[in-house]
Amino acid sequence: MNFLGLNKNKTFKPKRNVPEGTKQQQLQKYAEATLGSGDLKLAVVLPEGENINEWYAVNTYDFFNQINMLYGTITEFCTPQECPVMSAGPQFEYYWSDGFKKPTKLSAPDYVDNLMEWVQHQLDDETLFPSKIGVPFPRNFPQVVKTIFKRLFRVYAHIYLSHFRVIVALGEEAHLNTSFKHYIYFVKEFQLIETKELQPLAELIENLTAIIIIIK
């Protein structure tokens, strides 16, 4: 499916909520409570006795909404003129391939718009993210989740490496850092993304997740 051209200049998508009355909704409340403790590393751990696919689904909704909101704060600065290529610093460029015969170079806003439309489409697909109680997740669900998280990382990377000064000026850096740190702990806990994909922000990841030992 070709998402190019859909919702042009409307990258900020409506919030996606987990289906009401489902196990996912209960897990979402658990996740919110755990996050409230401030221990992000503990917050990503699969609750005892719970289905891992349900946990993947809850967190996929959550990170989609977080990144959607964070990118939405800088859309007026991320334009085809300012960001003619979707990049994560000078060494990494991303081309969009879904719906095209070959990977295609897009401006950052067009790329992110396609990316978020694509994720939105996955979340709305009942065969992938079932909303009815008792309906099983497909066998390829973990792979779908891995692809979503790999692509969402690219938005974090672009924000950090192309628009961090704007984020600081808006007073959003603490929110961005917390969201990204939460994301990193989650993908590492379940090995959802290859280390090479994280390379653009390798130094930042090391700093955010470093354990500081204070000797008295």
Q: Over its length of 216 residues, how does the chain's per-residue pLDDT go in tens digits?
A: 334 433 344 555 656 665 565 555 656 564 565 555 567 888 899 988 888 999 999 999 999 999 999 999 999 999 999 999 999 999 999 999 886 678 999 999 999 999 999 999 999 999 999 988 788 999 999 999 999 999 999 999 999 999 999 999 999 999 999 999 999 999 999 999 999 999 999 999 999 888 544 444
In a domain, 165, yes or no: no
Q: Classify residue 54: in a domain, yes or no.
A: yes
Report the CATH number that the domain containing residue 182 is assigned in CATH: 1.20.140.30
Asked if residue 149 belongs to a domain, the reply is yes
Q: Is residue 95, in this structure, part of any structural domain at all?
A: yes
pLDDT given at position 132: 81
User: How many whole angstroms separate alpha carbon 13 and alpha carbon 168?
Assistant: 23
Residue from 22, 94, 27, 21 nearest 60 by CA: 27
> Residue 130 forms beta bridges with which residues?
none
Q: How many domains does the chain have?
A: 1
Q: Is residue 98 part of a domain?
A: yes
Contact 113, 106 (CB under 8 A): no
- What's the burial of 51, exposed, middle or buried (CB within 10 Å: 0-12/13-18/19+)? middle
Residue 14 lies in a domain: no
Binding residues: 78, 83, 158, 163
The answer to whether residue 206 is domain-embedded is: no
Binding site as annotated, residues for Zn(2+): 78, 83, 158, 163
* Structural domain harbouring 71: 23-160+177-189
